[in-house]
């Protein structure tokens, strides 16, 4: 689906393509800063990189991934920032969102609870008797769909679906149900975190699920706003003519999910292909993207 090489004979379910985590810090791929990690950039070049957000974040605040879910992943819940008792001191809650890249006829996404599932006792009983999916709101995904997963939302996906994920920079996940999966390393069922998951479920939540794109501009590029929450704002850009990307005094991230082209800054061209991820630093300001064919980009900014 994407261009990155993968190890042979090893199942790969997700690729972290922009990560400022202690156990996985992304590296600059080219240019004079090639080889530096994003953690090192945040330390040495925080103002040029982050602009107006320089004093607000010690780590880059977003974590970006591609997920390729052949089997159903575990049913999970992430805590919100309000659940400090459930979150390690150096971490945060996790709101996330998915853009569907590819889907099969058997692909399925669960995002949220069905109306009427209103208490922990009912859900706990369904876990015990294996009927938890009776309480989950299902979506049959198709390429291009956007699915919002605010913290506190019960969710999972699988059946051959590929998605791009944007989320808060957090690795806090509570596994509610696991379909009887066995850990290949231990031969035992994987551990669950039922009490923690139930404690952070937003039973009244209505914000999650399939979203309707909002078209903001039609020319020179069709710009759709897919997600707009306190942690991230994500646009999908579709077009063939040159168009602006980035903004003064704030970082933007570009992800190419179809087509190719180049970013131009001070008349210098930088090639962009499918699967590439670019940070446009705050000091770069507005740049020009010149497609070499029909292009689909995701552009992400920190709102505020």
- Residues 6 or more apart from 270 whose CB is under 8 A from it? 262, 263, 264, 278
CA 101 to chain centre: 12
Q: What is the DSSP letter of 248?
A: T
Residue-level length of the chain: 304
Active-site residue identified among 21, 84, 175, 290: 175
Q: What distances in angstroms separate CA 163 from CA 57, 114, 166, 236, 259, one per listed residue?
A: 27, 23, 10, 14, 17
Contact 205, 152 (CB under 8 A): yes
Contact 142, 134 (CB under 8 A): no
Q: Is 84 known to be catalytic?
A: no
Is omega for the bond preceding 220 within 30 degrees of 0, making it cis? yes
Largest CA distance in the chain: 63
β-bridge partners, 255: 277, 298
Alpha helices in 2-57 (DSSP H): 38-44, 46-50
Known catalytic residues are 175
């Amino acid at each position: 689906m994407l261009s990155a090489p993968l190890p042979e004979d090893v199942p790969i379910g997700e690729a972290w393509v922009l990560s400022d985590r202690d156990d996985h810090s992304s590296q600059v791929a080219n240019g004079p800063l090639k080889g530096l990690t994003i953690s090192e950039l945040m330390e040495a070049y925080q103002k040029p990189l982050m602009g107006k957000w320089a004093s607000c974040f010690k780590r880059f605040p977003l974590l970006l991934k591609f997920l390729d879910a052949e089997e159903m992943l575990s049913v999970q819940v992430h805590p919100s920032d309000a659940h400090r008792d459930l979150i390690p001191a150096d971490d945060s809650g996790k709101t996330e969102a998915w853009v569907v890249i590819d889907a099969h006829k058997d692909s399925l996404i669960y995002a949220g609870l069905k109306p009427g599932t209103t208490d922990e006792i009912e859900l706990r009983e369904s876990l015990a008797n294996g009927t938890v999916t009776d309480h989950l709101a299902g979506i049959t995904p198709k390429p291009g769909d956007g699915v919002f997963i605010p913290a506190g939302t019960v969710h999972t996906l699988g059946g051959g679906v590929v998605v791009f994920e944007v989320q808060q920079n957090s690795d806090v996940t509570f596994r509610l149900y696991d379909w009887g999966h066995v850990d290949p390393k231990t031969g035992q069922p994987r551990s669950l975190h039922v009490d923690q998951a139930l404690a952070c479920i937003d039973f009244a939540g209505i914000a999650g699920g399939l979203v309707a794109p909002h078209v903001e501009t039609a020319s020179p590029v069709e710009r759709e706003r897919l997600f707009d929450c306190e942690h991230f704002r994500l646009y999908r850009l579709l077009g063939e003519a040159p168009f602006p990307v980035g903004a003064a005094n704030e970082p933007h991230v570009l992800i190419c999910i179809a087509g190719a082209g180049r970013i131009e800054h001070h008349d210098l061209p930088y090639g962009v292909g499918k699967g590439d991820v670019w940070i446009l630093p705050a000091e770069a300001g507005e740049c020009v993207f010149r497609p070499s064919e029909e292009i689909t980009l995701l552009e992400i900014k920190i709102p505020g």
